[in-house]
Amino acid sequence: MSTALVILAAGKGTRMNSDQPKVLHQIAGAPMLVHAMRSAEALEPSRTIVVAGHGLVDVQAAVADYAPDVEVVEQAEQKGTAHAVDAAREALAGFQGDVIVLFGDTPFVRAETLQNMVAARADHAVVVLGFEAADPGKYGRLIMNGDQLDAIVEFADASDEERAVTFCNSGVMLSEKSALFEMIDAIEAENAQEEYYLTDVVSIARSRGLSVTAVACDESETLGINSRAHLAQAEAIFQTRARTELMDMGVTLQQPETVMLSFDTVIGRDTVIEPNVFFGPDVTIESGVHIRAFSHLEGCHVSRGAVVGPYARLRPGAELAEDVRIGNFVEVKNAALDTGAKVNHLSYIGDATVGAATNIGAGTITCNYDGVMKHQTTIGANAFIGSNTMLVAPVSVGNNAMTGSGSVITKDVDANALAIARAAQVNKLGLASKLFELLKMKKKNRYQEAK
C-alpha cells in the first residue's frame, strides 16, 4: 500500500527564544525538520506534506533546498494537532493509502520503527507510536489491553492507577487516509485550550469498533525539541549514534567524543580519524584515508589512500584523488588534486587543478580573486612549485615545469620550463650596522621625549 507523510512543523517554538522557526534549528548541519524527513525515506513515501505556520517562507525555502518535490501547506491558525493534519487534506485529495503523522521537532524516530508501524497496520486500523518513559512526567499514557490500545489518557485527566503507567504517547500516528480524515471530522474542541487533538482519533476509532494498537520504540527516538537545552541534547544523541555506526562499519575514531559529524557524512572502512576533526555537510571520505587531528572538512571528496592534516581545511569543491597529501595549515577550495599530488605546508589552493605527482611548496598561494571575479589556476603533472610562490590567476603551469622559490608568476609557464619571477638581490655592505645605530638613536630620543 502507498504511504504518505504529513510532518507537522507549524509551531513557533517560543522557548527557543529565536526569530527562526523552531524546526529550522540545526542538528549536525541540517534543520531538525530535514532529520524528520530523512527518517521516513526508507519507506519510499509517494507523498510528503509539510504543514508549516510560523516562518512559512523560511520553511518552504529549507524544504525546497533539501527535497524540491515535497509540498508545504500552511496552517494559518494553530488550533491543535488534528487541525494541523487537516491542513494537509486538500494536498492529499488524490492520494489513496496510509498516512503517517510525524513531527518536525521530533527528529530521531528510526526508519525501522516506522517500518514496524507499517507492519502493524496490516492488522489494525490505527497505529500509535509509544515509548517506555524513565520519568513519565506529564506525558499522555497509553492504556493497553493486550495488543489493543484502549485509550490515550492525558496526565491531567488520568487516575492514580493510569498515572502509574509508564507507556507513553509520542504523538506519531498511522492510519488509512480516508478513515483518518473522517475521524478528524468527528473531533471536537472540548477542552480548556479549545483545540482539536489528534489523540482523540483513538477514542473515535474504538467507538466505531476499529482495532487500534501501539508500537513501542526507544525513548530517545521520541525526543521533542522545545529549547536550546533540548537542541544541545539532540546534537549529543545524534553524534553518539553516528560515531557508533561509523565504528561498527570499520572506521577508526581515535577519540570518538571529539569528532563532530554531519547528518550526511560518508566515511569508508579502514579510514582513521584522529581527534578534534570536524565534518561539515556533504563530505565523502573513501576507504583507507587518514584524517589527522584538528582538520575541518566540508563539501569535499577525499579518495582512497589520501592523508589530510593536521590542521588542514578542505572547503566546498575540494576533490582529492588517490594518495594525495594535504599537510598542516593547508586550505583547499574548489580545487581538484590528481593522484599523488602533495601540498604539505602552509598553502592556499583555490579555484585550481593540480596534476598527478605535483609537489606544491610551502607558502604557495593561488591568487584567485581580483576583487570582483574568481580566476582559475592550472598546474600540470609532475610539476614542482617552489616555496612562497604566488600564482596570479588566470595562469597555467605545464607538465614537469618548476617555479623558483619566492616567485610571483603572472604568465603561463611552458612544460619543462623553470620560471623565476623575483627582484634581483642587492647587498649593501656595512649598511645594516649603520641602520641599526640610526634606529637605536631614534628609539632613545623618543624615550627621552616621553619622560
Q: Which residues are catalytic?
A: 345
Q: In what helix (H) or strand (E) does residue 327 lie, and over which residues does it extend?
A: strand 325-328
- The single-letter DSSP state of residue 270 is T
Q: What phi and psi values does residue 61 have, to the nearest 5 degrees?
A: -65, -40
CA atoms within 13 A on the CB side of 153: 21
In which region does residue 431 sit, left (phi positive, over 0), alpha (psi from -120 to 50) or beta (all else)? alpha
Hey, what amino acid is at 45?
Answer: P
Q: Is residue 23 within 8 Å of residue 234, measured between CB atoms?
A: no
Is the C-alpha dihedral spanning 232, 237, 238, 240 positive or negative? positive
Is the C-alpha dihedral spanning 26, 30, 31, 37 positive or negative? negative
Give the distance between the most distant pair of CA atoms in the chain: 106
Residue 38 makes CB contacts below 8 A (sequence gap 6+) with: 263
Cell numbers 614542482 correspond to what residue? 384
Among 318, 377, 384, residue whose Cα is nearest residue 352? 377
Q: Which residues pair with 141 in a beta bridge?
A: 153, 168
Residue 202 makes CB contacts below 8 A (sequence gap 6+) with: 126, 128, 149, 151, 152, 212
CA atoms within 13 A on the CB side of 128: 29
Q: In what helix (H) or strand (E) does residue 365 lie, and over which residues does it extend?
A: strand 365-367
Q: Quote the CA–CA distance of 43 and 38 in Å, as a whole number.
A: 10
Q: Enumerate the H helices of 164-320 as residue ranges.
A: 177-185, 200-207, 228-248
Among 274, 279, 376, 391, residue whose Cα is nearest residue 333? 376
CA atoms within 13 A on the CB side of 210: 23
Hey, what amino acid is at 320?
Answer: L
Q: Quote the CA–CA distance of 151 and 205 in Å, as a whole number.
A: 10
- The single-letter DSSP state of residue 372 is S
Strand-strand pairing, 284-285 and 266-267: parallel
Of how many residues is the chain composed? 451
